[in-house]
């Protein structure tokens, strides 16, 4: 989904057939057979309603579960919707007729107000919603527009944080716990599909899956750079919903809507960033403008991209070593150089965890360790296995 693309049903048919037919009968729109059917159905409805009363005329049936769910959805939307905003990406472009530069909307997405402090409010959205923006404009639920200041973005998790004045802010969303979600649990997506003309739209579904790993091409070179860990939902997520809220029946934020699988053969696969994974990223972006991740100081490529003949002759690898990453360059003064890593070393494990490719290595560095930690690498050099400890 590119940034340019980013721009209840509670009907209950129980016992309504007779009422619909009776209504048409009053308008004289039914045939004689349909009139008789309508009268019979209407009588059935009346009998059913009578049976639902006890001797004192009071309701004698259990609360309708469908109505309870509908009420829960309505309550959740009321709780969360004021904190969901529109995010307009404004970019500078030349006017075709005058040649003068002007600021024009390049795309519209969604965002969620998660914090209000010291006269400022903070919005989390997607990186691809704000990418390339020269200015940002935040649109509140009531249509109020507020200039936004981009504090930081993270391409790896597709998150961004925007700051704005809080004088018109009515509500801040509360965080839920995405680790406790269960498949089949109700999920509600709130955002601006197709742009601000549909602001505050609500779609409802369930959590279809947890811990989904989705390959992502970050630089457009048609190769996978990262595997995003996401929640899967069948709540409709359309262009413009990106950055919006995925909430539970309590109106608590459980995910940041991010993307959908858009293929002709696919329907109902929307993806959201789990809020428990997003919180530390949000905090880093707000405080530092970037995510502080550990660095090794090397450039790498996947062993699987090296032809087998070179794996044997140049790298001299044992035949059973099929996966890993190859050191291409070692930066001067880097942790890698200090640890003794060399060009063409092949890294196959970190702290005992197998490293099959660059994605595995990045996931371990970015998710499992932090700056200052020591990591033990299993390395093959000239065909010989060795352990190298590196301080990140």
Q: Nearest 10 degrees: CA dihedral of 229, 189, 249, 232?
A: -30
Q: Beta-carbon neighbour count of residue 10 at 10 Å?
A: 12
Residue found by looking up tokens 């709540």 in the block: 235
Helix segments in 307-353, DSSP class H: 308-313, 335-339
Residues belonging to the active site: 128, 158, 242
For tokens 């509908």, what's the residue? 70
Q: Are 106 and 133 in contact (CB under 8 A)?
A: yes
Distance CA 40, CA 196 (A): 48
The residue to which tokens 């959590």 are assigned: 207
Q: Residue 354's Cα: distance from chain center in Å?
A: 28
Angle at the Cα of 310 from the Cα atoms of 309 and 314, rounded to 5 degrees = 130
DSSP-based three-state secondary structure for 109: strand
Helix (H) or strand (E) holding 208: strand 201-216
Phi-psi region of 151 (alpha: psi -120 to 50; beta: other; left: phi over 0): alpha
State how far the Cα of 20 lies from the Cα of 18, in Å rounded to an integer. 5
Q: Identify the CA nearest to 203 among candidates 139, 247, 156, 256.
A: 247
CA distance 309 to 276: 45
In 10 A of CB 374, how many CB atoms? Answer: 12
Query: Is the distance from CB of 184 to CB of 241 less than 8 angstroms?
Result: no
Tell me how far the alpha carbon of residue 135 is from its chain's centroid. 23
- Give the H/E segment covering residue 125: strand 120-125
Q: How far is the first Cα of the chain from the last one, in angstroms, to the nearest whole number?
A: 34
């Amino acid at each position: 989904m590119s940034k340019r693309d980013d721009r209840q049903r509670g009907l209950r048919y129980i016992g309504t057939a007779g009422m619909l037919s009776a209504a048409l009968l009053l308008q004289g729109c039914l045939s004689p057979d349909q009139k008789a059917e309508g009268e019979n159905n209407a009588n059935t409805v009346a009998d059913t309603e009578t049976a639902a009363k006890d001797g004192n005329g009071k309701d004698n049936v259990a609360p309708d579960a469908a109505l309870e769910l509908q009420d829960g959805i309505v309550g959740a939307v009321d709780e969360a919707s004021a904190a969901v905003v529109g995010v307009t990406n404004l970019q500078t472009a030349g006017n075709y007729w005058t040649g003068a530069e002007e600021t024009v909307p390049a795309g519209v997405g969604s965002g969620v107000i998660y914090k209000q402090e010291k006269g400022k409010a903070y919005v989390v959205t997607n990186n691809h919603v704000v990418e390339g923006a020269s200015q940002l404009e935040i649109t509140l639920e009531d249509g109020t527009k507020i200039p936004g200041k981009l504090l930081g973005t993270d391409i790896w998790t597709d998150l961004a944080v925007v700051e704005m004045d809080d004088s018109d802010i009515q509500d801040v969303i509360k965080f839920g716990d995405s680790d406790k979600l269960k498949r089949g649990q109700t999920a509600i997506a709130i955002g601006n599909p197709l742009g601000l003309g549909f602001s505050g739209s609500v779609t409802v579904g369930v959590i279809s899956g947890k811990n989904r790993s989705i390959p992502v091409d970050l630089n457009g070179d048609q190769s996978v750079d990262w595997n995003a860990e996401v929640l899967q939902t069948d709540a409709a997520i359309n262009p413009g919903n990106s950055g919006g809220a995925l909430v539970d029946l309590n109106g608590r934020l459980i995910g940041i809507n991010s993307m959908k699988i858009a293929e002709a053969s696919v329907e109902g696969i929307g993806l959201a960033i789990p809020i428990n994974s997003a919180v530390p990223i949000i905090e880093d972006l707000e405080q530092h403008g970037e995510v502080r991740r550990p660095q090794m100081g090397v450039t790498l490529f996947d062993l699987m991209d090296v032809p087998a003949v070179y794996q044997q002759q140049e790298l001299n690898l044992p035949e059973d070593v099929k996966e890993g990453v190859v050191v291409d360059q070692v930066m001067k003064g880097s942790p890698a150089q200090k640890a003794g890593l060399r060009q063409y070393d092949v890294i196959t494990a970190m702290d005992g965890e197998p490293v099959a490719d660059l994605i595995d290595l990045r996931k371990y560095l970015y998710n499992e360790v932090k700056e200052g930690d020591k990591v033990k690498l299993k390395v093959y050099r000239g065909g010989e296995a060795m352990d190298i400890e590196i301080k990140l």
